[in-house]
Amino acid sequence: MSPTFPSYVTLDYDGGRDEDASNYPSLEDKISKAVAVTQQALEQYRRPAVMWTGGKDSTVVLYVVREVAAEMGVEVPPVVFIDHFEHFPETVAFVEQWADEWDLDLVVARNEDFVRLDASPGDEILLADLSETTRRELERLDYEADTLTLDADTFEGNHLLKTVAFNDVIEADGFDGIFSGVRWDEQESRADETFFSARHDSEKYPPHDRVHPILQFEEADIWDAFWEFIVPDAASGYPVGFVPESADDLPEGITATDLPISPKYFEGFRSLGTESGSAKSDDRPAWVQDLGASTERAGRAQDKEDLMGRLRDLGYM
């Protein structure tokens, strides 16, 4: 790993500390802050990238980055999609469709050790068949078994399939600033995040920064941004502010595939993780559900294991 973080970056890493969404009361306030953070990041970093899952939050971040980059007359940074082998097929198709539509430089991060073994989710793998690098990562987790079941929703699987794969790409491509779609309200372990978050410990990950332009957004704000800005900009003729009640409730001549919204949200999912570890919370589209009645990640298997603090210390989002 690169031993030091570049000295050309000079930032206030405390920005946003002790704040929450109430400090940004309107959607305009939230978007203005997202734009300011993004502009500063594009000015500071020489090799930024956008972490894009195909989910709603990272799509809002990607939209803001694309808009600010256009205003500044700079190229949109590369977009990194982490392939943990357990995505919904619709998620992969969505990412491919809109990467092409928006002419993105799409970088797919995978743990090549499991690609080499042609491994599939649920496979039991002998540690002896893994590379020295992967075994060393398991040692960091104090993993002592002789075999590993490949599952992105376990602590070990999440680290190997997501964090390690992402760190490999950061190091290989020399990314210095990573745009991420985390929000203060999304989970307790993210409530103390700042707009610029240093990841400079070379013993844990390639030194880089995380950039969090939408910390101040709440779930409802994310969907408001889609209907007010993202969807009308992407789908010609879509009326600004129109909120459909279903996939059948769209303006004439427009279908759900014309919208930069994963079809799983139309089906009732509010948060997208692995195919086996995600559950929809209602049969209605995500944005028409009672967003205050439950947490949006309640159906995510990884969160049920209460491991986010440990994972984030290892470099997870």
| Phi, psi dihedral angles at 237 (to 5 degrees) | 90, 0
Per-residue pLDDT of the chain (317 residues; tens, 9 = 90+): 557 898 999 999 999 999 999 999 999 999 999 999 999 999 999 999 999 999 999 999 999 999 999 999 999 999 999 999 999 999 999 999 999 999 999 999 999 999 999 999 999 999 999 999 999 999 999 999 999 999 999 999 999 999 999 999 999 999 999 999 999 998 777 788 999 999 999 888 999 999 999 999 999 999 999 999 999 999 999 999 999 999 999 999 999 999 999 999 999 999 999 999 899 889 999 999 988 766 676 555 555 445 656 665 666 65
Which residues are within 8 A (CB) of 143 and not within 5 positions of it... i.e. 6 or more apart? 156
Contact 55, 272 (CB under 8 A): yes
Q: Which domains does the chain have, with CATH numbers?
A: 21-218 (3.40.50.620)
Rounded to 5°, the CA angle 291-295-301 comes to 135
| Phi, psi dihedral angles at 35 (to 5 degrees) | -65, -45
pLDDT score at 305:
43
| Residue 242: Cβ within 10 Å count | 14
C-alpha 47/C-alpha 63 separation (Å) is 18
pLDDT score at 59:
98
Q: Which of 41, 50, 52, 151 is nearest to 97 (CA)?
A: 52
